[in-house]
Amino acid sequence: MTVTQPVVCTTVAQLREEIAARVAAGAATVGLLPTMGALHHGHLEIARRTRAENDLAVVSVFVNPLQFGPGEDFESYPRQLAQDVAALAAEGVDLVFAPPVEEMYPGGAPVVSVTSGTAGAVLEGATRPGHFDGALTVVNKLFTIMAPGPRIPFRAYFGEKDAQQLLLMQRMVRDFDHRVEIRPVPIVRSERGLALSSRNQYLSAEQAEHALVLHRTLVALAAGELTLEQARERVAAEPEVRLDYLVTVDPQDLELVDPAPGALALVAAWVGPTRLIDNMRI
Amino acid sequence: MTVTQPVVCTTVAQLREEIAARVAAGAATVGLLPTMGALHHGHLEIARRTRAENDLAVVSVFVNPLQFGPGEDFESYPRQLAQDVAALAAEGVDLVFAPPVEEMYPGGAPVVSVTSGTAGAVLEGATRPGHFDGALTVVNKLFTIMAPGPRIPFRAYFGEKDAQQLLLMQRMVRDFDHRVEIRPVPIVRSERGLALSSRNQYLSAEQAEHALVLHRTLVALAAGELTLEQARERVAAEPEVRLDYLVTVDPQDLELVDPAPGALALVAAWVGPTRLIDNMRI
């Protein structure tokens, strides 16, 4: 089987030229999957969908320093562009945007940036200060850089598992009037309900069994069988599981609300030493 | 003389449709002058330039609640849309974008917004906390809403008198990769050098005389005839004048720098009860 290699763009100007040329040549829709590289099965699943749903399929590979905190692993984060490009070639992706840091942030960190205020400082943001603002800042740039013009539908793909990130991206599109349609990608689960994550590999067989309490409790909460307090107690009572939070929020602004229809239930817990997140619409 | 009335758009969708229709009909360049209305001579001068330099001339009239602080005059800020539209008609402006607050911020204040961090909190930002972030947030929206597409040059006009605002807008365009060219509009001065401002009307004849020290001192500083300290002393020594700040900054990030070529000298002072600002490139 022959695969066409994607064009790898390393500058903003080159990416814009490639997109303009392909739109001029007839591409009527553009799709973007933003990643930090080190692509795994889950990414490739979304790349396939991006490919299938758009004339022009673009994947960005950029380890964004802004979304790492001081104690975090920006330097040691895995970088394997050649492997990633090969994997994306097999999925038929057209363009890979892999800029160096200096191309995205010439002269250092941006002076003007994106902030999600308190909505990005709670829940996952509480354990990673600045993380969401960094992610929003780089995705805002990707949206503006790639904007193919008013007549060309432009879609961006984000997983539902990182619910807070997805909600903030949707909110940015609305608050900034980006002409981008966010296409959420549903959580993929094991047969027994555990949300797939690269961190699941750290779970022992026994821990993986205990971790099922997260999904089971979300289902019961969504069905109205448990109050929020009972749901928390059920998670906390599971051996080896330590609850970080279990809340229901308004997907518009991430404010805490009662577990009523339309709300989103979010859970984070340590199972042994491994931190897992999951979520479900009520 | 007959004048064509500008089309007044009150929704984002309507503005986008009008721009798309005019681009489709052959408009090859788009210009934007963002205002809060209550247009005076200075605005109309810039409107004329926007008209002359672009096929499609757009003026936004929007009193942006985000850029007013709690103690400020958002409610009482003058609103006179009919007069403004008539004045813009006389200048040949094509479109006026005058959305209600709910159109720009549906459901209330945005969750995701633009911040300039410390660069927007110093100098003028020190006396108006949040002001520049509010201005950047709304102009970012205007840029995204109006973006006419990759092939159509898009220009936005800002006065050099509000130097910090201009620098932050230029920085946002660069940091956000907006496809907008900021066209700075030079300061208009009286014959004797006083920067024109609607606040000059509050000055007595004597105060207007004392206010000339601002421009005179900037000229001497730019010519290297005074040190920064001597320049401050000269302003402070003028009767009726109370210096707020006189600094030189790097126009890239508003960091304080020595008064060397390329730096921008910024001054703010009260003359009697009236606060004036002025600036000059070294």
Are the C-beta atoms of residues B103 and B60 closer than 8 Å to each other? no
The pLDDT assigned to A70 comes to: 83
If pLDDT is split at 50, 70 and 90, which confidence band does A125 have? very high
Bridge partners (DSSP) of residue B56 are B30
Instruction: Indicate the CATH number of B198-281 among 3.90.930.60, 3.10.20.30, 3.30.1300.10, 1.25.40.10.
Output: 3.30.1300.10
Q: How confident is the model over A204-256, as pLDDT tens digits?
A: 999 999 999 999 999 999 999 999 999 999 999 999 999 999 999 999 888 99
DSSP assignment of chain A equals ---PPPEEE-SHHHHHHHHHHHHHTT---EEEEEE-S---HHHHHHHHHHHHH-SEEEEEE---GGGS-TTS-TTTS---HHHHHHHHHHTT--EEE---HHHHSTTSS-SSEEE-GGGGTSTHHHHSTTHHHHHHHHHHHHHHHH---TTS-EEEEEESSSHHHHHHHHHHHHHHT-S-EEEEEPPPB-TTSPBP-GGGGGS-HHHHHHHHHHHHHHHHHHTTSS-HHHHHHHHHHSTTEEEEEEEEE-TTT--B--S-TT-EEEEEEEETTEEEEEEEE-
Q: How confident is the model over B245-255, as pLDDT tens digits?
A: 999 999 988 89
Q: Tell me the fold of B7-185.
A: Rossmann fold (3.40.50)
DSSP summary character for residue B226: S
The pLDDT assigned to B34 comes to: 98
How large is the average pLDDT for residues A26-50?
A: 95
- Cβ within 8 Å, pair A150-B16: yes
- Give the amino acid at B142: L
Which residue has 């400020």 as its token pair? B72
The pLDDT assigned to B69 comes to: 86
- Cβ within 8 Å, pair B175-A110: yes
ipTM entry: 0.93
CB pairs under 8 A between A and B: 102
Domain ranges of chain A: 7-185, 198-281
Q: How confident is the model over A141-180, as pLDDT tens digits?
A: 999 999 999 999 999 999 999 999 999 999 999 999 999 9
The pLDDT assigned to B183 comes to: 98
Question: Is A193 a residue whose pLDDT tops 80?
Answer: yes
Question: Is B258 a residue whose pLDDT tops 60?
Answer: yes
Choosing among B97, B175, B180, which should be mutated to test the A contact, i.e. which has the most A CBs within 10 A? B175
- Cβ within 8 Å, pair B150-A149: yes
Other C-beta atoms within 10 Å of B224: how many?
11
Nearest to B12 among A112, A116, A177 (CB): A177
Question: Is A116 a residue whose pLDDT tops 90?
Answer: yes
How large is the average pLDDT for residues B59-67?
A: 96
The Cα B71–Cα A88 span in angstroms is 55
Q: How confident is the model over B132-180, as pLDDT tens digits?
A: 999 999 999 999 999 999 999 999 999 999 999 999 999 999 999 999 9
Residue of B nearest to A109 (CA): B175
- Cβ within 8 Å, pair A140-B176: yes
If pLDDT is split at 50, 70 and 90, which confidence band does B117 have? very high
If pLDDT is split at 50, 70 and 90, which confidence band does B1 have? low
* Residues of B with Cβ-Cβ distance to A16 under 8 angstroms: 150
